[in-house]
Amino acid sequence: MFGFDSNEVTQIAVSMVVVAFAFSVGFLFSSRADFILAFPVILAGVGTGFVLHELAHKFVAIRYGAYARFQAWETGLILALGMAILTRGAFVFAAPGAVYIYSRGLTRAQNGIISAAGCFTNLVVGLAFLALAFAAPAGSYLELLGASAAGINFFLGVFNMIPIYPLDGSKVLAWNWAAWLALALPLAFFAFVF
């Protein structure tokens, strides 16, 4: 129904693991124990932040009658790993791929809504993880998981709302500046405050 095949699922899974590993590389340079604790937390954040963001684009595009498919960007995956290793985790270039949408009939509004869907998903998922962090016992692994996954979701959402093509923000702003502000401002607030 949603047009998944095993190749697309594999590309999503590989992209998610590679990006999570890239964001975890810095912990390898401190201790293996830190890495073993951090990797699942970062995987949860990247998994929700990246995968759900891209799937939101895909499902909304399909709702508008378009064909949509995730395609990994191998160069982006190599850059993510390479930059993380070269900088010992201080800098990660994370551009693992994107959902490519094929349609001749999408309006500017539909394209804007498709683009906003990913960032809106990051905001909602980030808020859910933030609630988990506040509800969890202080200092617990669950609090760390919630806070980290929330932060990753907010960061990915606000980064994608930058109004520079090909980022989502450029398409949302081209459609409706009020919608862009309504999404960019809360994402920026939560990304920089929490």
**Residue ranges of domains in the chain:** 6-193
Distance CA 41, CA 38 (A): 5
The yes-or-no verdict on residue 4 having pLDDT over 80 is no
User: Would you state the pLDDT for residue 32?
Assistant: 78
Helix or strand or coil: residue 101?
strand
Q: Of 178, 11, 188, which Cα lies nearest the Cα of 100?
A: 11
Residues with catalytic roles: 54
The whole model's pTM is what? 0.89
User: Would you state the pLDDT for residue 75?
Assistant: 94
Per-residue confidence at 2, pLDDT binned at 50, 70, 90? low
Query: What does the pLDDT look like over 105-152, one tens digit per residue?
Result: 999 999 999 999 999 999 999 999 999 999 999 999 899 899 989 998
